Structure 1
Amino acid sequence: MSKSAKTYNPLSVLADDPQGRSLGPQLPPGSVIGTPGRRRWGKTAEPLVWVSDEAVGIGALAAHRSPALAAAGLQAVLFQDRRGLERWWQDREFSPERMSDPDDHHVEPVLREFWGRVVPDPEEGEEGEEIIAPFGRDWPGLADPGADGPEDGPDPEAAACALADELIEEGALPAPRLALVPAGRPADVPTIVGWGGPTNHENDTALISTVLRSWEDRFGARVVALGFDELHLSVAAPPRTVVRALPVAAEHFALAPDNIWQGSGSIRAYADEAVTGSNHWGFWWD
């Protein structure tokens, strides 16, 4: 994602091979979306993402989240419509040029900064303290995966494909599109495309990817689907006890406070309801 050097874009192969036969399983009909902005001096837009023309069903992510595509530098994920914002990915919603590089950031200071933004003001008194209990206003530090680390869980890619099928079957992703993004790892997908889902909380998505990279390493998390302002992760090795889940819930609060402010109401409740033993971590930003 460095802007200092011109690198080969693996999406370029789809210009001559639109169904991706050379990349593995044949792709459904789709099209490449280029980088936003005006074309200048006769140059065409750089390929940014390939998206299927129609919705895909159960098994689609598993069929294309393959070692061959990953080796080619392409990550398969799902894009989901939002009512009133159908096909949001075609409406100049991506801003890759404004994103920094996740390599330039470290997860601990990123989450510490996020935490400092969202902890309740002392003037809120006991009510504010109850939201973040058992933690105080100081950043509690990174959660330790401990014995629940990804090496002890199922294969993270298999878990991602299983969650995709589950979300489609349950109607949480009623009409997803298959998307191919030129990224080295799933955590970088939001930054590579310049996704603006968390803009009301953080407009540099590289900081979000920095956290996602850490969750990949600690919990076997993988990006499965993006909506206009929603993010769905599979989790191969979630914390199995509330004690281990509480510091993870604090990280979630720092990253996406609306999950608690407009959801569970407190870190304790959220840890119990949405983190402990959960193979699906979902986030949204108002």
Structure 2
Amino acid sequence: MRAARSPLDVLAADSRGRGRGPDLGLPPGALITRPGRRLRRAVPLLWVSDAAVGGDCLAGHRGGAPAALGLYPVLLQDRRGLEEWWRLRELYPERMSDPGDHDARQVLREHWSGAVPDPEEGAEGAELIAPFGRDWPGQAAPLIAGQDPEAAAGALARDLVRDGGCLPSPRLALVPAGRGADVLAAIGWGGPANHENDTARIAAVLRSWEDRFGARVVALGFDELHVSVAAPPRTRAEALAVAAEHFAFCPDNVWQGSGSIRAYADEALTGSAHWSFWWD
């Protein structure tokens, strides 16, 4: 049986899978492949630029020809000791399910139950999740976007790449995915592996955030995720509701970061158009 064509096949300019993709105006780059079934052929997984790109590069390739081909641009950032982690067999798409098979509310409810402190921790544990209790408080209400989600994504990319930002040398990547949330499962990203092994469940929550808050996936590190937000919470009540979701989504943001949901809501969420996550 002939393998289904990938949108990335258009970038396979020669036998090494390298090429500029002249119709897309891409910088020099290469396809990252994985073995296909029964090792009959290498299957393209994503395309990555050879060199670091500037902050305007992401916005320049959102929409247009890449979108028409079914390719979604994101930025990838390596880190010391894990340079070019996307080449090191750290991607496992075959292990991931379909984001559409999961309900974000159920995923968050299950993760909340697994993240809340044990009752034995007493007042300290109760303070960490206050003003909520051990029961899942439910999803935050949708918020009205203050700007276009794609404009917010472009602005965040520029902020993250400029001097002193979180992305000192990002690569441009193109992934066969119809929306940013699905990029994680499409490439089999394992960043949240110590919290959730099936990244499609993480993607299901991101889909919900896309719809409710105008969120967009901007960049991935080995175990980091950067998301732009067109409709960030503006009040403490709104921020607390979102903070509960973030605690379920990525407990390390609170456990090893702000120290409590209240502090996290105040420090990281209120008025912030940048949501970042790191899993230990």
Shorter-chain TM-score bucket reads over 0.9
Q: 1:7, 1:252 → 2: CA distance?
A: 37
Match of 2:31, as an amino acid? V
Quote the residue 2:44 is aligned against: 47
1:166 pairs with 2:165 = no
The change in CA–CA distance for 1:87 and 1:140 in structure 2 (over 3 A counts) is same
Quote the residue 1:34 is aligned against: 33
Quote the residue 2:215 is aligned against: 221
Quote the residue 2:203 is aligned against: 209
1:278 pairs with 2:272 = yes
Q: 1:67, 1:234 → 2: CA distance?
A: 20
The change in CA–CA distance for 1:16 and 1:231 in structure 2 (over 3 A counts) is same
Q: 1:137, 1:154 → 2: CA distance?
A: 35
Report deviation, 1:68.
2.5
Per-residue deviation, residues 85-115 of structure 1 (Å, max 9, x unmatched): 1100000000000000011110111100000
Report deviation, 1:57.
1.3
RMSD: 1.5
Q: 1:202, 1:123 → 2: CA distance?
A: 25
Match of 1:116, as an amino acid? S
Show structure 1 runs of 5+ residues with no match.
Answer: none
Quote the residue 2:56 is aligned against: 59
Whether contact under 8 Å (2:55, 2:160) holds in the other structure is no
Quote the residue 1:132 is aligned against: 129
Q: 1:142, 1:45 → 2: CA distance?
A: 41
Q: TM-score, normalised by structure 1?
A: 0.92
Match of 2:47, as an amino acid? W
1:110 pairs with 2:107 = yes
Per-residue deviation, residues 115-166 of structure 1 (Å, max 9, x unmatched): 0000000000000000000000000000002xx323xx21111111110010
1:157 pairs with 2:129 = no
Report deviation, 1:63.
1.4
Report deviation, 1:8.
3.4
Whether contact under 8 Å (2:226, 2:274) holds in the other structure is yes
Q: Deviation above 2 Å: which 4+ runs of structure 1?
A: 5-8, 37-41
Report deviation, 1:9.
1.2
Q: TM-score, normalised by structure 2?
A: 0.94
Per-residue deviation, residues 191-242 of structure 1 (Å, max 9, x unmatched): 0000000000001000000000000000000000000000000001111111
Q: 2:172, 2:120 → 1: CA distance?
A: 47
1:180 pairs with 2:180 = no
